[in-house]
Amino acid sequence: MAEPRRAQGEPTVAVAGARILVVESRFYDDISDALLAGATRALEAAQVSFDRISVPGSLEIPGAIAIALDAAERRGEPYDGAVALGCVIRGDTIHFEIVSLESARALIDLSVARALPLGNGIVTVNTEAQAWARARPEEGDKGGDAARAALAMVQLKRTLAAARVR
């Protein structure tokens, strides 16, 4: 299996002070804890503040992000980005395909429609062993990867907003 490429070096535009929303599915509590540990480590290392919301399953994550974004905007405390964390393990029915594909589609739609920097840390796997290999911060660190992806997109958004149009 190919090794993931992880960003190296210091960001050129600071993300410190950004507000990030983390929405996690609690369907698999222990795996969710591992994903959250990785995301938390990455967000704290970047010196950003974050709020966490828990939902029952991965299909509820996009809706919860949309609801939380609207509420934060109304309070005058908008989020700069979001991180989605969850786990979908293949079973004996097509439910796996529905949850994995529709949660990913809804996250992409949300990110594009709102120009929302978003990291997708919903792992979709065949077995629980694969889920653990991806979720543990010391192994796959998909929670950390999702947080770093969201932060990279916050950085991109800030860079482009500050760029001069020629």
Q: What are the structure tokens assigned to 81, written together?
A: 């980005």
Verify whether residue 95 is a known catalytic residue. Answer: yes
Among residues 93, 101, 89, which one has the least CA distance to residue 128? 89
Phi/psi of residue 118, nearest 5 degrees: -140, 135
Between CA 123 and CA 33 the distance in angstroms is 13
Contact 72, 130 (CB under 8 A): no
Active-site annotation holder among 95, 105, 126, 159: 95
Annotated catalytic residues are 95
